[in-house]
């Protein structure tokens, strides 16, 4: 057995954890303020997180093809949020979104344009007009990530460190002063002194069996924040993308690829009896169009399955058979050939789709400066709670990442360069360093299997439909996994030790899962991404946020009022 290598120590003004769109936007903003930035990611810099997985649309009130205004976008966002949007945060997204999108345009992201030179904008469900820009039908997210990555790469103020797993935040006098991590490449412990930190680690949907997320989105940032004393908020609201691909087998293509098809061509959602059913659950008449919001479509599909009218694989049919082949090719060209390689001919067969965990509306509670209640700790992107309430409006995710990243990075830099910056004390990091350097004997516990077990529990008992009985069983299962996992990672530090990485991942995922289950159990109503079978329908007595904090004996639930109207003018 080799002994742990000596820890490496790094120092910076601003540490940004996570390098999706929010993290890269934060790093660029902090560097513009004159701060030295360390951009850390457990994967490849600029190639992780949800941004690179996103496909088509970015919602922003540019008014390029149809008259529009940020206030109309704001109204749609608030409506979709089912009464729980924080108006101040939602307003930031909608009001500052246009500038963020035009900045990307200036950096040559390649937004699609019409013959007249105006940016093309399409209408997504829940929006009152065509509002969503895109690069192409399947590659908008990768194009945004590539554009930001190019700006980061040529910025000498930003030091990039990939394959670095952050395990704990370190505090001095009640404010963050750095972090502890380990290098996945050689197992070496790493301490990082930072005067301010931006968490931009994305969502939590990896804790579900079927999800559309990157493998590194298991709630690292939520767990880091929780252990540091930050409040989480709205954790019970998980958005399921209603038409994730289910069958036949699809290789090399994204499971949420049918979204752009529906934007462009509409399509028909049919139950196992080949009958339209959406109109039975929502006043909106689809009639081959794509107008029903994600929470309502998820509900309708799963109710059909529950009633015995599902497809053979357990979902609904999505059919484009009524659309001529030439029109399919005109809209999607080479994508049709890639589908043919998978044995899918859309002119002759429907595909089967079913809800898949896609986005998390809950997360870290912040103020309008994107700062948490722990000093010098900021958050950005999907990790932030409040802007989307109980249900995110389609297309808002990348806009939110860019806007929140900019604000958080700017604020963190200003704090780091001010007299309020905290000083790193090595002793404060000793316990966290001992954990990543711990050497343990052989054990029968397998963290990889435990993660799979947790994903099953969350999918089966804490999915789109929930009951008290199911949630209580889920809570017991999580407690059993927590007890079995122990207090230390297995084995010892070595290059690419996946068993230790899985143990640290499981530690975070169990904390996040418990927060979701406890808040879901507490909220006795159905609203947006939280549907209780035993409490159907919205109940205005529950028109408040639930918060979660870590106490001495475990998680503590609280309540916070909803800011339904913007309280201050945002400059």
Task: Give me the DSSP letters along 254-295.
Answer: -TTTHHHHHHHH--EEE-TTS-B-GGGT-SS--TTS--S-HH
State whether residue 167 is helix, strand or coil: strand
- pLDDT confidence of residue 485: 96
Going by pLDDT thresholds of 50, 70 and 90, the confidence category of residue 571 is very low
pTM of the model: 0.92
- pLDDT confidence of residue 431: 96
Quote the percentage of the chain above a pLDDT of 90: 76
Q: Is the pLDDT of residue 178 over 60?
A: yes
Q: Crossing angle for the helix pair 396-416 and 87-106, nearest 10 degrees?
A: 90
Q: Is the pLDDT of residue 284 over 70?
A: no
The tokens for 128 are 């009152």
Q: Are strands 268-270 and 238-247 parallel, antiparallel or unpaired?
A: unpaired
Quote the percentage of the chain above a pLDDT of 70: 96
- pLDDT confidence of residue 304: 95
- pLDDT confidence of residue 288: 65
Mean pLDDT along residues 473-486: 97
Long-range CB contact pairs, 532-540, < 8 A, 24+: 532/465, 532/466, 532/467, 532/468, 533/465, 533/466, 533/467, 534/467, 534/468, 538/82, 538/83, 540/83
pLDDT digits (tens, 9 = 90+) for 532-560: 999 999 999 999 999 999 999 999 999 99
- pLDDT confidence of residue 2: 47
Q: Is the pLDDT of residue 1 over 60?
A: no
- The one-character DSSP state at 53 is G
Q: Is the pLDDT of residue 562 over 60?
A: yes
Q: Is residue 501 within 8 Å of residue 182, measured between CB atoms?
A: no
Burial of residue 187 (CB within 10 Å: 0-12, 13-18, 19+) is buried
Q: DSSP states of 417-453 as a string?
A: TSTT-----GGGGHHHHHHHT------S--HHHHHHH
Which helix H or strand E contains 378, and what residues bound it?
strand 377-379
- pLDDT confidence of residue 50: 81
pLDDT mean across residues, the chain: 92
CB burial string 62-87: b at 16+ within 10 A, e below: bbbbeebebebbbebbbbbbbbbbbb
């Amino acid at each position: 057995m080799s002994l742990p290598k000596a820890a490496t120590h790094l120092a910076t003004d601003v540490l940004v954890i996570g390098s999706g769109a929010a993290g890269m936007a934060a790093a660029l903003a902090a560097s513009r303020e004159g701060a030295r930035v360390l951009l850390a990611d457990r994967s490849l810099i600029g190639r992780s997180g949800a941004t690179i997985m996103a496909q088509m649309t970015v919602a922003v009130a540019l008014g390029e093809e149809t008259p529009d205004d940020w206030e109309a976008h704001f109204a749609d966002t608030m409506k979709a949020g089912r009464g729980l949007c924080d108006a101040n945060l939602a307003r930031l997204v909608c009001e500052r979104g246009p500038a963020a999108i035009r900045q990307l345009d200036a950096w040559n992201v390649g937004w699609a344009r019409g013959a007249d030179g105006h940016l093309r904008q399409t209408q997504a469900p829940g929006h009152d007009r065509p509002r969503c820009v895109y690069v192409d039908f399947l590659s908008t997210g990768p194009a945004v990530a590539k554009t930001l990555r190019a700006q980061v790469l040529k910025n000498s103020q930003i030091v990039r460190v990939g394959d670095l797993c952050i395990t704990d935040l370190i505090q001095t006098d009640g404010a963050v002063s750095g972090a502890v991590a380990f290098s996945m490449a050689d197992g070496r412990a790493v301490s990082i002194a930072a005067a301010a930190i931006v968490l931009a680690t994305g969502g939590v949907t990896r804790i579900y069996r079927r999800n559309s997320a990157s493998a590194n989105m298991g709630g690292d940032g939520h767990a880091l924040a929780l252990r540091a004393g930050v409040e989480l908020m709205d954790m019970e609201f998980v958005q399921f993308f209603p038409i994730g691909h289910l069958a036949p087998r699809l290789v090399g293509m994204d499971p949420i690829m049918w979204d752009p098809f529906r934007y462009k061509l509409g399509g028909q959602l049919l139950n196992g009896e080949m009958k339209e059913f959406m109109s039975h659950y929502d006043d909106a008449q689809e009639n081959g169009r794509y107008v029903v919001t994600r929470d309502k479509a998820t509900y309708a599909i799963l109710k059909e399955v529950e009633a015995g009218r599902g497809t053979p694989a357990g979902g609904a049919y999505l059919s484009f058979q009524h659309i001529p082949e030439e029109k399919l090719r005109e809209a999607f060209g080479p994508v049709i050939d890639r589908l043919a390689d998978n044995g899918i001919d859309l002119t002759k067969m429907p595909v089967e789709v079913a809800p898949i965990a896609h986005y998390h509306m809950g997360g870290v509670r912040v103020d309008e400066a994107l700062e948490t209640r722990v000093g010098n700790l900021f958050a950005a992107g999907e990790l932030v709670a409040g802007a989307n309430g109980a249900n995110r409006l389609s297309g808002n995710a990348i806009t939110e990442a860019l806007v929140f990243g900019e604000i958080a990075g700017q604020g963190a830099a200003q704090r780091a360069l001010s007299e309020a910056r905290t000083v790193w004390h090595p002793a404060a990091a000793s316990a966290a360093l001992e954990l990543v350097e711990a050497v343990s004997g052989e054990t029968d516990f397998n963290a990889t299997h435990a993660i799979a077990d947790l994903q099953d529990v969350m999918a089966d008992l804490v999915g789109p439909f929930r009951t008290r009985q199911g949630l209580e069983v889920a809570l017991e299962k999580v407690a059993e996994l927590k007890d079995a996992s122990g207090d230390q990672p297995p084995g010892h530090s070595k290059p690419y030790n996946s068993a230790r990485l899985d143990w640290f991942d499981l530690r975070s995922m169990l904390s996040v899962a418990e927060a979701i289950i406890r808040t879901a159990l507490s909220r006795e109503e159905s609203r947006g991404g939280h549907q209780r079978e035993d409490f159907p329908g919205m109940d205005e007595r529950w028109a408040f946020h639930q918060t979660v904090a870590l106490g001495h004996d475990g998680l503590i639930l609280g309540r916070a009022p909803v800011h339904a109207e913007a309280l201050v003018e945002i400059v």
